[in-house]
Structure 1
Amino acid sequence: MDLNNVLNTALCFPKGKTVKNRLLMAPMTTCSGFYDGSVPQDLVEYYGKRAQGLGAVIVECCFIEPLGPAFPGALGIDSDKKIPGLARIASAIKQQDALAILQIYHGGRMVEPELIGGKTPVAPSAVAAAREGATTPRELSCQEIDVLITKFGDAVNRAIKAGFDGVEIHGANTYLIQQFFSPHSNRREDHWGGDREKRSRFPLAVLDIAHQMADRAEANDFIIGYRFSPEEMEKPGITFQDSLYLLEKLAQRGLDYVHFSVGHWSRSSIIDLTDHTPLITRYRQAISPSSSLAKVPVIGVGGIVNRSDVDQALAAGYDLLAVGKACIVYPDWCQRLHSGQTLTLEMESTQREALSIPEPLWYFSLVDAMIRDVQNVGKKFKAGVYHEKVEAEALKLIIDVQLDTDRITDIRLQPDSSLDVDFTQTFEQLRTRMLVANSPYVDAIAGATTQSEALKKAVSRALSTSTKHWAEDCGVDPASLEHYDVIVIGSGGAGLAAAINAHDLGAKVVVVERMPTIGGNTLKASVGMNAAQTFYQQKKGIEDTKACFYEETLKGGKFKNNPDLLQQFVERAPDAINWLAQQDIVLSDITITGGMSIDRTHRPADRSAVGGFLISGLVKNLTQRHIEVLLDTKADNIEFHQGKVSGVRVIDEYGESRVLQTKAVIVATGGFSANTKMVEHYRPELTGFVTTNHKGATGSGITLLQNLGAATVDMAEIQIHPTVEQKSAYLISESIRGGGAILVSQAGVRFCNEMETRDKVSAQIIGLAEKSAWIVFDEQVRSQNKAADEYIAKGFVVQGESIDDLATQIGMDPSVLTQTLDTFNQAVRQQQDLQFGRTTALRHPLDKGPFYAIKIAPGVHHTMGGIAISTQAQVLDTHNHPLQGIWAAGEVVGGIHGANRIGGNAVADIIIFGLLAGEQAANWVKTV
């Protein structure tokens, strides 16, 4: 069928309604509804403008009851109050001579509790989705299921009243209807669960009631379609044969169309990677001409942009095509197609209002990735497909990276029968993140970090190769591409903050990282970021002063802190918190750490570990700015002649050396806790201690700067952290003790003030006969600290339903541990700890089971000593003179923390001095 026929050939649905051509707008989440799911006017304009020329518009999914929204800004059809707003959308579409179809759904277990007032989401069974941090839902009762079916019927009735020509029942995207059919999410043994036939009953019941509502309203030609996800990656999960079974059952009850939910119309199986047959081909081959399903039109979706896409998708066997992103970028897409234009999915950042795109949709990740301003484009690529090896542990495979001149257009796995489903799921998730970000610098997939980093590294190599080819074709000297204003060495929190700030002040920046991953030791940070007199403290009614913060940090550092650096640190801390918030890295929850008297440790609102949250947010900002990162690249030497920086000599993973030209260098390589010889040199008594640091914390930046004559301070000041799980060397966050936990010896008794500074608590543990201790806490502490769930998942935690049960499991006398807790709980009630003088984190009695314990002992955690710097983060030589053009920030620096670092001060340090170094370096470049 040629394009003219596509645009002019009508199709009659089984119930009689006619669509004027074969092109539809796909249902796409806009996140643009009001807080209660009602319709704003800009959304009416958005749909009305895009309906022109199309046969129909399928409006984004609307939740059918208040527990149903699966994302912020979702539209609702859960009450009659929603009818007028939805009617405006239907009317705007129909004014363009297009059919208006409304998708209806319930999110089920995919609903986040915060979207429904903190309530627990519902599902067929109490089985959490197979994704990181998924909430375990509440199983629906049979009575509730009957009510939900009625609510789907009410939604259909409201859609009819709003003037829609039909509804699309959303049985895809792992939402509730799919959950009932899935063997992964439906483990019921009653009428609604069991074998494939029983799991079909809920979607069939929803279809039946939709027909009943249409019949009752005498809407004889009212369209009823069904969207489905052909397969699930979960084990057990829905197979393609399962989907065909369900669709045939639905077709026998009466369907106007079925709608594939896939990322691209030509997608093949995500389960059997050896079978490259498009699913639409398998679908057509599997359907008997005499079956009910053979009479039902099929909608394809995904990757429909240009005329060639339309031709190929229709030739593959689809009857209708749903167009997604192309309709966002081009409201007049049909007309452009008809005129023969070749289109690319790109928009100028100034075009939002002209394109009638609601603001929440504009900032949605998939749309944001299509916004490309010439001045913001990063490196140039030679378009083509680049093959790269991915090697990680037992994983060895080839990927194809397809590039356009300025972006990644696709990442594909070459066929490999040895790959398992779990890895395929990891690949698909990471592929999506990289395509959306147009960058390999994205968050790794939880539980598959090593594989994720290997994939990201391979994509990064493809980009570098392509850029070199582009330079060769254009006659550009590749060395000229590697001239930067500022080179940042190290990609932890300090380095990333410095790079972003320097970029925003006009500098061309590159980050050099010798490890294969971004994040450094910051990824291991857990508790939070200290700051006094912040907006978030004021909002919570916490009275604090910078003077108090200064004095407590000075005391904690045993009065060895550099007073000028400490003053700079304290003064700039609130602004650093605000800067992070401006980058959408919000640390709004507040707790306390040892050595502090006031809650001033800022952490994420969900109380998760600060490190991963911080790096994730900084990397997103790095990617948005197209700041280049060179991974697996060692900074071997800073070229420094006649008092000036001229470049940095680097060595890549293949051993090749080259010089990156620059005027300014920021060193943010971290401390030396993972350098056993260096630690033992300065502190022989720490021989044999485990370290909480990542293996890259070897002090390489200190050596690099010492070679230029830089001075060092406080090198023997090495902090051991009191609470480290010894088998894994994993740090147990101070937030657990700050949340109310206690430390007990193997005898079952407390032995110290748990909220003293780290050096003192560590000394008390080392002084025990067993040289280890147990952190003991209850369900209240666990529920308020997300890190505790991580420790449980890693197998560090012993759990007991009662105190006696816990004591027995960890080899203590139950009566002694009970007495210890009773005494502590009485101290909490009286807010007076007579035993050890603890005055902070006496939050609540430890009396709510279950009870938990983690065995810990001290480990090397932080090196307070390092390079000497000025209050402007300039590196100082042994004569206290600045090395022109060189700055340092983070744990590579000494002097700020004195003889002992307070928990929460390291994260503050890296952001405060990272920002300062970035600012100073960018300003310096403008003057030389």
Structure 2
Amino acid sequence: MLRNLFDEIPLASGASFKNRLFMSPMTTQSAFYDGEITQQIIDYYAFRSGDAAAVIVESCFVEDKGRGFPGALGVDTDKKVAGLTELATAIKSKGSKAIMQIYHAGRMAWPEINGGATPISASPVAALRPNAPVPREMTEEQILEMITMFGDATRRAIEAGFDGVEIHGANTFILQQFFSPHSNRRTDQWGGSREKRAKFPLEVMKEVQRVAEAQKAENFIIGYRFSPEELEEPGIHFEDTMYLLNTLAELKPDYFHFSMGAYTRPSIVDSDNPEPLITKYLAHRSSALAQIPIMGVGSILQRTDAEDALKLGYDLLAVGKGFLIEPNWVNLIKEDQEVNDYAHINAQRKLLIPTPLWDFMAYMVIDPEEEKRKHERLKELQKVKLTFKPGTYTVEAKGHNSELAMNVTFSEERIEKIEADQSNESEGLSDQVFIRLPQQIIDSQTLNVDVISGASASSQGLIDGVAEAVELAGASSEVLKARPKPTVQWSKEVVEEEADVVIVGSGAAGISAALRADQMGLKTILLEKLSFVGGAISISGGNQVVMGSKLQARAGVCDDTVESMVEDFLANGSGLNVPELLTTLAENVGEATDWVHEYMGVEYDMENGLHILAEYRKNRELAYEDGGHGFAASARKALERSNVTIYLQTKAESLLTDGNGKVTGLTAVEDTGKRHNIHAQAVVLTTGGYGNNSNLLNHELNNILFYGTKSSTGDGILMATTPELNATTRLMEYGKIYPNGVEVSQGYAKSTIGGNIEVMKRSGLLVNTAGERIINERASNKEILNVLLKQDPQMLFLLMDAKNFEIFTEAVEEGGITREDLARWIENENETPQIFRADTLAELAEKAGMARESLVNTVARYNGWVEKQTDEDFDRQLKFLQEKVGEGPYYMIEQKPRFATTMGGLVANSQLQVLNRNDQVIEGLYAAGELVGGVMGSDSPSGANNAWALTSGKLAAENVHKTVAVEYVVQ
């Protein structure tokens, strides 16, 4: 039977809806400080009432410490009934039913908007969001009180004249928290199994129904909103939700309400399955659930959208954007009128939208005239036929490391050839840029192309270079940028493959594991989600601990010991290091170094020799020739010589198991959509850290600048900690923090460490924001960091004279800070990063907001210690006290905490096998490198991370080899 948008819908309670269309609950954030109603809110809802079957009023907190956002409405006390009555009356008098959504934020309740109260939840597990506080686990008594609070809120809604309530079991609020295996780790009657986790939502529903009956509220409507899935692992999967809904359906509520951004949304967990969740819902609902109307929401604006949603299987439709932009939305679609996509920039007062909500709506508010001009301009540009002056034009564009020389060849009508000299770019890092982007530009004759993942600087440099050449050839690059993007065909191909071992991630640990596995005769597949092999080591300074190696001995140190190295690492790591892992590193790093040198062909900088570092009693660190770039180039050549199968731009998605907890391979997807099901006897995870995943970081690290690779998103942790494998983690709160970052964009840093090392050998000084020296500049990074973190704000300045600034400028180029960057930052001295230049110290201090005499006196005092050849303030070593701060101009550049490497990760044993929460080995699963938590403790000393990555990768492959039944010959 064909369903109509304006059908009357009978409900189990005896009530009915006059049509299928609802105003979706949307937070206005406009209540008084205590949650009382405002006239502004009443006017806003009344203006949108009438034609809709019901208006669902934004979430109202049931307890005054349960707000999830500022300006929230409350239904927590009887004194609020009077104001809520005015709201219900205003809605109902226009002809719509008034339904109140009731909720408690649980662990999503910020202390600062709840009087400083610590949030509560099912378990003391913080939400995976930046700066989330750890909630207090609710006692049995608190749980029962909370259930009663939902009942009391229902009574107040009835007294205020509302036609119903919608229990908010979605958006990670408290009902969802009890049902989620991520936030509910209880072992009592309220948690553990899926059945026990469903108990709290069931009891809330029963209490709400009990109160409605006790209040003799005839035809009182009770709905339940739910989020179908969670991204967290462990988290709610769709089959869990269907269990909950089928169970709740036995209580016969009036409707269920999806909480999604689009009514057509497929799974966010199984991201490659395009099937809309509503069709899965219809296929798996019980006979009882089939009797209850299901409400869809999201991306319903035009009448055709609404009708398509009904065809898809929804019974009721909640509309948000439509009612914001067009308060008379129902009548408009009833008359088949088109609804505007955007609100006019000057329409706030006309639409009676409170300012907090208007600010949130910014993405759907436009200046029509400006948008029209842009659209007309785009249409004009797309009509333009370009002609070029034939020939080859040479241009330069900014790359990752340097300027790129480019030759772009044109015929009269086309770009014919793009050749770039990437000799100064990181080999391998940008290879795909110079292969794929020119081909896309030439094939589609457009500059509207996407940058290559992991090589954005080189990508943009190439695009900019071609744009400049277009202008030189007498044409408009703006026209080429306006042309459509190249069409990408999404592949549905699925490939079944077999290997002895599959390695995920091609950083130092992955390269080491892959080459050693191949060397030992194992059929090896190496997966990398980026476009290049090398990971973080490719762009690092390239230092490595080489204790116990032939190279250390050749460099003059023959008396270093395992015991000495372990003691140094323990001191640096605050004693939090895992002894068996640290010992494994110390005992094997020498052999691994020699293997890296002799088998992989990596050259070490023996000319400059072992580094003298405060962290080590024995000199045990060497650099690679040409730094991390040099290591990566040699490693790639070794991979080319090997039999390792490498898939670039291919992301591992999930681990395969035999159903009994043994890992048997994994699934991976190329950026084209092509899927690989790889069956292997072992999987080695070398996916690196999680520094660029704010959901996995604690409060402190979320407030430290990140300077690592954007790909450091904790993929291995997320894959291994699924409920089936249940891998455990440790020391997740620690990261390797350095004291020498500059904030180049919000939350992200670049490192000045190369420049710091050079100028602090001479006369570079560290001063605080008051212009005073506060530490020996040649102290260890850890000592400087400890001082830096105590500053308010957490910032120091590196002070240099003209001579040293030139040295600094040359030295920081290796870290990706160019002369052009420095010049631009100096020019924009009021923006971040802060770098100041002045002819005199007094002027420099004034620019930085310091007392003029303070900085002048600090430099004079230091220069006095140079004359005296002793630093009585901070005991700077004599060899670094030979040069005064000299002639200007003078410079100061900010020094902020930065981090890239995370110290925590998966728990693994000395064989690099991953363990689950029961301290049992997960058969077939290994981990290496930064992904393994604990070897460094709270902090890693210089050169240690590369040493651990290479050593653990090699050892993981050797341990896999012991368990894989293949014929092999060790070369």
TM-score, scaled relative to structure 1: 0.49
TM-score, scaled relative to structure 2: 0.47
| Higher gyration radius (CA) | 2
